Amino acid sequence: MTRIAILGATGSIGTSALAVVETHAGRLQVVGLAAGHNVEGMAAAMARHAPAAVAMATGAGLDALRAACGGVLPPVHGAGSEGLVAVATHPDVEIVLCASSGTAALEAVLAAIEAGKTIALANKEVLVMAGGLVMDAARRKGVPILPVDSEHNAIHQCLHGHAHGEVRRLILTASGGPFRGRPAASLAAVTAADALRHPTWQMGPKITIDSATLMNKGLEVIEAHWLFDVPAADISVVVHPQSIVHSLVEFRDGSILAQMGRTDMQLPIQYAFSYPERWDAPVPFLDLTRMGALEFHEPAWDDFPCLRLAFRALEADRSLPIVLNAANEVAVASFLEGTLAFTGIPRVIEACMNAHDPGPAATLDQVRRIDAWARTRAAAEAARDRIDR
């Protein structure tokens, strides 16, 4: 029985992870659950899985959860960052699935690594913000970091059994989002509802907007750099609207390996939970005869500038990826609130990057200080571009 903790238990990844647990109830056991503000979803998950440790984003949320559970919580419970750490480091936990949105779980991931837990990583912001810290800690403790993002999970599968020196290039696939093929001039008036209609994946709102701007792919490029120790120059992005090929690896002899599968996050989640074994599929198998044509295109760099901004941040290294990530989170939140135009998202990010003088980000304190500065600056930039719908 593999014992797991899920950070972000009520989000799209978390609920898919719980479905995998229920499919393999004889192999997987939930020890810890952490959620943001969804008390009803958390209470339902607790009723099904009886975790030993739980956490909510706030004390008020924890109080509401206690009331929803008849006044009784598991022996280990908490709120905020301390609660996340308590769940992630529970002594019975073997694998921590980091599926929370944003960067709130950074301290919990580092604490889990120090405690020797295997990390199943579905949160790319953690590595974008502090990739050096996380990967250095994982190497020092001998802790595996198993990628759950479908693209990085695909690359992990393609690299299995191959030496690092055999790789020429990593190729990340992007669906292109809901606005693929539309020029930038037509995007100023799109709404959050428009951007949330992803053509192939069902995801949370923040990652869905990132997919629409192609920032999600940019963040994945930075994540791939840290996970697989590959420079920016050896990472490419192609638009693949069908989302059947999840990513590819090109080797020095000209061979390309691709991983294909359904657009269902249960597959990469189960891969991380079962690695190095392979278990029976939790979803129907892919029928190659029904796929139709598979297309691959060059990204529209000029129409979707967030992708180029991410490459710029990675190439600059040091603290600039922290600024990119923080400014993007603030800008996306403003867009979802209806106070920033879709085309304002890259403008806010670029303004923050231009205003920042990159420096070292070798400690958690430095990372958090730079993150706080970028969020304050991004809020000011978003207010400057404020619109009233």
pTM (whole model) above 0.85: yes
pLDDT classification of 203: cutoffs 50, 70, 90: confident
Count of structural domains within the chain: 2
Last residue of a domain, one of 92, 118, 147: 147
How far, in Å, CA of 322 to CA of 130, rounded?
A: 8
How far, in Å, CA of 335 to CA of 196, rounded?
A: 11
Last residue of a domain, one of 118, 147, 176: 147
Lowest mean pLDDT among 88-97, 118-127, 199-208, 322-331: 199-208
Q: What is the DSSP string of 105-122?
A: THHHHHHHHHTT-EEEE-
118 within 8 A of 146, measured Cβ to Cβ: yes
The domain in which residue 348 lies consists of: 317-389
Tell me if 184 is assigned to some domain: no
Tell me if 17 is assigned to some domain: yes
pLDDT, tens only, 258-287: 999 999 999 999 999 999 999 999 999 999
Tell me if 141 is assigned to some domain: yes
Tell me, what CATH number does 66's domain have? Answer: 3.40.50.720
Tell me, what CATH number does 382's domain have? Answer: 1.10.1740.10
Per-residue pLDDT at 388: 63
Angle of helix 344-355 relative to helix 205-213, nearest 10 degrees, comes to 80
Last residue of a domain, one of 147, 171, 201: 147
